Amino acid sequence: MSQLEEQLHRRRTFAIISHPDAGKTTLTEKLLLFGGAIQLAGTVKGRKAARHATSDWMELEKQRGISVTSSVMQFPYHESIVNLLDTPGHGDFSEDTYRTLTAVDSALMVIDVAKGVEERTIKLMDVCRLRSTPILTFVNKLDREGRDAIEVLDEIENVLQIRCAPVTWPIGMGKRFKGVYDLRHDRTHLFSATHGGHIQSGEVIEGLNNPRMDELLGDQADELREELELVQGASHPLDLDDYLAGQQTPVFFGSAINNFGVKELLDAFVEYAPPPLARTTRERPVEPSEPKFSGFVFKIQANMDPAHRDRVAFLRVCSGSYKKGMKMRHVRIGKSVQVANAITFQADERRQVEEAWPGDIIGLHNHGTIQIGDTFTEGEDLKYEGVPYFAPELFRRVVLKDPLKTKALQKGVLQLCEEGATQVFRPLKNNDIILGAVGVLQFEVAAYRLKGEYGVEAVVEAVSVNTARWVECDDPKMLARFQEKAYENLALDGDDQLVYLAPTRVNLDLTQERWPEIRFLATREL
């Protein structure tokens, strides 16, 4: 095996999808703890700061700084090198969250056992489905009273439309929580709460029928045996091909805060989760084992401090390897650039890397020439696909304080748009500028940066747009007719693509029904 093959087979690049408060940060800490990346859990910075959307700009900047350092966390585990990509979740939920999911090879879904499937998880799951991303599930907070485990699995299957295969099964819950039974290895891990962030191991009992089970669990041993019979009859056996195809999710139970069930999860993760696979470019599929370097940019992070206007472009390596000082071709602008100082993000410390392999993320310093979706190669003209724009869910009209600044506003907004900070829509019927986003903080960031970087003072105000769809039709006449009839609701995006801005969901449904020949698209390739 070549060094490249060896390195790429070790890589596991993933992100956590969850609704706020399900336990993503806590679980991240514990995973890093197992990876030896941090000594004690509780040190993943910014968990409180990142909790609230805020208009305090110092605070905002702190948050952004923090999320740069914790954007990508790399740690070794057994034979693997794990790359965990952060998906901004609380106030800083944005299109970055969605696009990060286009750069991973698999995902880990965290569900709060008391809350079940929540709204944000549904959205993130929809994004995973675009690429049939394999998903492992961790049902968290078993140390608290929650819903029946079977009920939670039912909900996952019904709401998220993915089959569940339990790999571990909880014994009791809340005060009666005794541990998990590992269906793969026919053994039980007994629970004991931990304090602080130490790794600890409770007693392990081999075999479901081991008398030690009855001795320690009392009635709960028989309850478990009965429940397992029921579960195994009613649920799906683990099928790795189905998992890799995104059709089935292996499910684990535990308590992240008590570091319980996390090791089983991580062990299975490095075993089941796929290494980097071939990815499609507009020209041809690219195998990760191809010796020549290639990758794409999925996120650009701007520094909020006007004194340090550096932006970092996050590039996912797809083939070959990055070596410090190498030349790369920036395909869109047709230029070759020398990259001497790419950064990587190990746990919570920024450091320069000498090399990076498929599945790894590197940060390129960028002064505005790099856009989201850009491909870099070792010479070949390729364009990676699958880094789309997502239809925004929130809309605001930009109102200028100084009407003479219209030109500067347009320029600023278009650049923010290219960076993926926000999306812009210009209605056909008037000169409004409407911003679109998936998280409210995006509007604050846009207004702040317009002022700081383009000298434009603007405020954003509510506008009656509920959702947007890109519009396409093979028949130009039909499209022209639609354009005439739907004129009031049509706009152009930052790339002059036609977009339907629906005032309500009902309006969108009706319009779609009325115009069956028109395609209404919720994503658009960059």
Interface ranges with ligand G4P (CB under 6 A): 18, 20-26, 47, 89, 140-141, 143-144, 255-258
For residue 87, say whether it is annotated as part of any ligand binding site: yes
Report the C-alpha gap between 461 and 262 in whole angstroms: 44
For residue 90, say whether it is annotated as part of any ligand binding site: yes
The answer to whether 42 and 197 have CB atoms below 8 angstroms apart is: yes
Choice between 141 and 189, CB closer to ligand G4P: 141
Joined together, the tokens standing for residue 199 give 């790794």
Choice between 59 and 453, CB closer to ligand G4P: 59
DSSP string, 127-158: HHHHTT--EEEEEE-TTS----HHHHHHHHHH
Query: Quick one: which of 337, 412, 423, 338 has its CA closest to 372?
Result: 423
Choice between 89 and 358, CB closer to ligand G4P: 89
Choice between 194 and 289, CB closer to ligand G4P: 194
The least CB distance from residue 163 to ligand G4P, in Å, is 24
Give the neighbor-by-neighbor strand order of the sheet with 498-502: 458-462, 394-400, 434-437, 423-427, 490-493, 498-502, 467-472, 519-521
The least CB distance from residue 111 to ligand G4P, in Å, is 11
Strand partners, 388: 525
For residue 71, say whether it is annotated as part of any ligand binding site: no
The type of residue at 358 is: P
Choice between 256 and 463, CB closer to ligand G4P: 256
The least CB distance from residue 197 to ligand G4P, in Å, is 12
For residue 140, say whether it is annotated as part of any ligand binding site: yes
The least CB distance from residue 42 to ligand G4P, in Å, is 9
For residue 21, say whether it is annotated as part of any ligand binding site: yes
The least CB distance from residue 243 to ligand G4P, in Å, is 23
The least CB distance from residue 89 to ligand G4P, in Å, is 6
Report the C-alpha gap between 384 and 297 in whole angstroms: 9
For residue 83, say whether it is annotated as part of any ligand binding site: no
Query: Quick one: which of 418, 266, 293, 278 has its CA closest to 362?
Result: 293
The answer to whether 372 and 102 have CB atoms below 8 angstroms apart is: no
Choice between 148 and 283, CB closer to ligand G4P: 148
For residue 189, say whether it is annotated as part of any ligand binding site: no
Binding site, annotated residues for GTP = 18-25, 86-90, 140-143
Binding site, annotated residues = 18-25, 86-90, 140-143
